[in-house]
Structure 1
Amino acid sequence: MPRGNWAGKKVIVTGGSGFIGSHFVEELLTGQANVICAYRRDNRGVLPQLPVSDRLRLAQVDLLDEKALRVVFEQEREHGGIDAIFHCAAVSGSVEFRRDNFAQIIDANMRAVSNILMVARQFDVRDSILLSSSDIYLSPTTNPIREDDDFKTNMHYAQDGYYLSKMYAEILAEAYRMEYGMNIFLPRLTSVYGPRDNFEVGTDRVVPSMLTKVADGQNIEIWGDGSQTRTYMHVKDVVHAILQMVESGKYHTLNISTTEIVSIRELAQFVCAALGEPERVTFDLDKSGGRQSRTLDVAKLYEVIDFEPRSLRDGLSDTADWYRRFRLNR
């Protein structure tokens, strides 16, 4: 869905062998961009799923290695330089991992963001896009949550390395924008799902976890009564929305979400239906299901995008098709 603005542009995508990053690589190639897929490792076998194209170059690099990252940009400077960088790489994990390893996560994610912004400034990259998260709204005061309900008005501490690193990234981006006049975009993502999602043990991602349990004939266990509500956006719609956010240039900070609000119980039912399996859902009422709701205000988003994100049912059907092809046959 890129509308032609990316044709002939040179773009680097960090975390290109990851979930969201791989879809940026794919869509930018569709938009006729020249793409550098920067990755540290491909332990999930994502790279072979990318399109074959002479406009795609792979660059294995550790973002914590400033010198190695600089070499990638220096090589491209000889051929016109980089027009945009989409920073999708991040260390995350389950709630427990983020709590128990929060020093490691903060350190890795902070240094990566610092290095990315530094080389983007030094090599005159026109647009820098840092994927942020709705997790930054730790204690929102608005419902639905607006973009201005952020660290500028409501900052909180939590022993959560991912949350703290995303907060740091936004603060540093704001500082770079003010001091150096850089064009930096911060899309704040709702829960994202879709093909090539992360099914690794310990990531604790909701949709992959549910898909795996249903496919293995197990029950989906929901903490609480399942009435807590969330929003979920298909990864391709997320990518399309962010590309149009950058193309329009209207907002540098933007909630990326859908208007479809579903309960955790409904999500489990939809996952079972997507795999053509009977509902196998249990509830543990002694455990907390977390925040009762998290809904983002998307009024500004709909000023930017020219499409309607797909329904959760349709998106899960697409995800289930990919899961059958690439996961069940491994």
Structure 2
Amino acid sequence: MPNGSWAGKTVVVTGGAGFIGSHIVEQLLEREASVICLYRRDRRGVLAQLPDSSRLRTAQLDLRDEDALSAVFELARGGVDAFFHCAAVSGSVEFRRDHSGQILDTNMRVTSNVLKVARTHGVPDVALLSSSDIYLNPETYPIHEDDDFTRQMKYVPDGYYLSKVYAEILAETHRIEYGTNIFLPRLTSVYGPRDNFEPDTDRVVPSMFAKVMAGQEIEIWGDGSQTRTYMHVTDLVRAVLRMVEVGKHHVLNIGTSEIVTVHDLARLVCEALEEPERIRFDPARSGGRPNRTLDVGRLYDVIDFEPRSLRDGLRDTVEWYRRHRVPARAAR
């Protein structure tokens, strides 16, 4: 982005009724951009939580339909200045394993359409939200951006992982062949307002919230010593927008330098909800990789703010949760 300002720009956001996408829409509106918010479904009533603005337009469509996606761009007077692709099919570990073909096929069709339409309509900046999941077997800790598919690739029957890796490969080939300016923010674990707090959620923080508020124990697989980083969604979105504004790195780990164990996370969730600690461990089940810490040295060379602490971010999430999602038990 030439002048680093979103004011007066027209931006398209896919997955605008989703968790991260809705926050990108919101922050772009705060920066006085005009936003075209694309979504397929709004099952959690997210659109109603977005600002009421004349600069916000919404369109419901299936991103697998290239013609429908292209039509959105044709309606944008003066063209589109940036395109944020946030939509993706994911799911629980079991769903990703059992429906690997479906996830890979859908996500790749959509990504291909996004890149083709962006190229056809001359969009200057394209951001494809990637994931730290692409680092399947990292050789460095903390994990550096160079420790990716260019160094090693491994097949596993996980359609989400495969789709994120192949999306990055497709982006790289588009950059080389067509000169498309593509940004690949690789996101750490994210939490915050408008996350999926539905009963069937597979998300870590919402799952812990649900257990605590139901008076049940938080179950941690393994011994709870595995370390992770968690970033509040508004900070994560600020970092992604800043990445595009500065334009210095086309691949960037998006995370925080605050490292916590899964056990610590559970304790902080209980503290934020002001509920007793009810935590048990299942050492017979794998807790996953012992360490998923990202190297955020490049990120701190780009952002102009300090991400909030996990404790403060969880308190903010609790405030939103009590307004929008709190169950009847909590109204005591």
Task: Report the TM-score when normalising by structure 1.
Answer: 0.97
Amino acid at match of 2:29: L
CA distance in 1, matches of 2:174, 2:209: 41
Name which of 218, 221, 227 aligns with 1:220.
218
Report Cα offsets for 1:61-84 as digits up to 9, x if no partner: 1100111111111111xx101100
Q: Which position in structure 1 is the counterpart of 2:227?
A: 229
Question: Residue 200 of structure 1: CA displacement?
Answer: 3.4
Q: Which position in structure 1 is the counterpart of 2:63?
A: 63
Are the counterparts in 1 of residues 228 and 292 from structure 2 also a CA contact under 8 Å?
yes
CA distance in 2, matches of 1:13, 1:198: 19
Amino acid at match of 1:71: A
Are the counterparts in 2 of residues 7 and 31 from structure 1 also a CA contact under 8 Å?
yes
Are the counterparts in 1 of residues 128 and 185 from structure 2 also a CA contact under 8 Å?
yes
The SS at the match of 1:35 is strand
Report Cα offsets for 1:35-93 as digits up to 9, x if no partner: 011000100110000000000001111100111111111111xx101100000000000
Are the counterparts in 2 of residues 14 and 37 from structure 1 also a CA contact under 8 Å?
yes
Q: Which position in structure 2 is the counterpart of 1:37?
A: 37
Question: Residue 329 of structure 1: CA displacement?
Answer: 5.7
**Does 2:269 correspond to 1:271?**
yes
Question: Residue 168 of structure 1: CA displacement?
Answer: 0.7
Q: Share of identical aligned residues, percent?
A: 70
CA distance in 2, matches of 1:68, 1:116: 11
Any stretches of 5+ residues in structure 1 without a counterpart? none
Q: Which position in structure 1 is the counterpart of 2:54?
A: 54
Amino acid at match of 1:62: D
Amino acid at match of 1:313: R
Are the counterparts in 1 of residues 86 and 129 from structure 2 also a CA contact under 8 Å?
yes
Question: Residue 328 of structure 1: CA displacement?
Answer: 1.5
Are the counterparts in 1 of residues 273 and 318 from structure 2 also a CA contact under 8 Å?
yes
CA distance in 2, matches of 1:103, 1:297: 31
Amino acid at match of 2:234: K
CA distance in 1, matches of 2:126, 2:198: 29
Are the counterparts in 1 of residues 4 and 245 from structure 2 also a CA contact under 8 Å?
no
Amino acid at match of 2:247: G
- Aligned residue runs from structure 1 range 258-297, under 5 A: 258-297=256-295
Amino acid at match of 2:87: A
Question: Residue 199 of structure 1: CA displacement?
Answer: 2.3
Are the counterparts in 2 of residues 4 and 31 from structure 1 also a CA contact under 8 Å?
no
- Aligned residue runs from structure 1 range 164-179, under 5 A: 164-179=162-177
Q: Which position in structure 2 is the counterpart of 1:119?
A: 117
The SS at the match of 1:325 is helix
Q: Which position in structure 2 is the counterpart of 1:145?
A: 143
Question: Residue 201 of structure 1: CA displacement?
Answer: 4.6
Name which of 70, 80, 83 aligns with 2:81.
83
Name which of 309, 312, 321 aligns with 1:323.
321
Any stretches of 5+ residues in structure 2 without a counterpart? none
CA distance in 1, matches of 2:241, 2:128: 12
Are the counterparts in 2 of residues 4 and 32 from structure 1 also a CA contact under 8 Å?
no
CA distance in 1, matches of 2:24, 2:150: 29
CA distance in 2, matches of 1:42, 1:201: 16
Q: Which position in structure 1 is the counterpart of 2:209?
A: 211
CA distance in 1, matches of 2:155, 2:177: 26
**For the aligned residues, what is the CA RMSD?**
1.1
The SS at the match of 1:304 is coil
The SS at the match of 2:13 is strand
The SS at the match of 2:107 is helix
**Does 2:21 correspond to 1:21?**
yes
Are the counterparts in 2 of residues 94 and 202 from structure 1 also a CA contact under 8 Å?
no
Q: Which position in structure 1 is the counterpart of 2:152?
A: 154
**Does 2:7 correspond to 1:7?**
yes
Q: Which position in structure 2 is the counterpart of 1:129?
A: 127
Report Cα offsets for 1:121-157 as digits up to 9, x if no partner: 0000010000000000000000111000000011111
Are the counterparts in 1 of residues 63 and 113 from structure 2 also a CA contact under 8 Å?
yes
CA distance in 2, matches of 1:200, 1:162: 21
Please list every run of at least 4 consecutive aligned residues from structure 1 whose deviation after the TM superposition is greater than 6 angstroms. Answer: none
Task: Report the TM-score when normalising by structure 2.
Answer: 0.97
Report Cα offsets for 1:276-319 as digits up to 9, x if no partner: 10101011111111111111001100110011100000000011
Report Cα offsets for 1:172-230 as digits up to 9, x if no partner: 00000000011000000000000000123544110000001101111101011101100
Q: Which position in structure 1 is the counterpart of 2:299?
A: 301
The SS at the match of 1:16 is coil
Amino acid at match of 2:53: S
Report Cα offsets for 1:71-118 as digits up to 9, x if no partner: 111111xx1011000000000000000000000000110001000000
The SS at the match of 1:300 is helix
CA distance in 2, matches of 1:204, 1:7: 37
Are the counterparts in 2 of residues 190 and 233 from structure 1 also a CA contact under 8 Å?
yes
The SS at the match of 2:122 is coil
CA distance in 2, matches of 1:173, 1:4: 23
Are the counterparts in 2 of residues 73 and 81 from structure 1 also a CA contact under 8 Å?
yes
